[in-house]
Amino acid sequence: MAGKIQVVLGSARKQSDTEKLLELLLSEVEYTLLDLLDYKLTPYDYKGNYPTDDAFAEVTAALLQHDVIIWATSVYWYAMSGLLKTCFDRFTSLVTINKAQGWQLAGKLTFLVAVGADATLPEGFLIPFKNTAAYLNMSFQASFYAATGQITQPQILLAKAEPFIANIVRAKG
Output the 3-class SS for 13-65. CCCCHHHHHHHHHCCCCCCEEEEHHHCCCCCCCCCCCCCCCCCHHHHHHHHHC
CB 73 within 8 A of CB 18: yes
Exposure string over 126-163, b if 16+ CB within 10 A, otherwise e:
eebbeebbeebebebbbbbbbebebbeeeeebeeebee
Q: What is the pTM of this model?
A: 0.95
Task: For 33-88, write each residue's pLDDT tens digit.
Answer: 999 999 999 999 999 899 999 999 999 999 999 999 999 999 999 999 999 999 99
Return the CATH number at 144: 3.40.50.360
Q: Could you list the residue range(s) of the whole structural domain that residue 102 is in?
A: 5-172
Residue type at position 64: L
Split into its structural domains, the chain has a count of 1
